[in-house]
Amino acid sequence: MPVGPGNKRRKSKLWLFLIWAIFPAVVISGTFQYDVPDIVEAIFLTLVWLPAGIICEKLGFGAFSMVGASTIPNWIFFTAIVATSYLYGLLLVFLVWFVIRFGKRLWRKPE
Nearby residues of 54 by Cβ (< 8 Å), 6 or more positions away: 64
8 Å CB contact between 85 and 30: no
Is the pLDDT at 2 greater than 60? The verdict is no
pLDDT band at 38 (very low <50, low <70, confident <90, very high): confident
SS (H, E, C) 12-54: CCHHHHHHHCHHHHHHHHHHHHCCCCHHHHHHHHHHHHHHHHH
pLDDT in tens, 50-83: 999 999 999 999 999 888 888 999 899 889 988 8
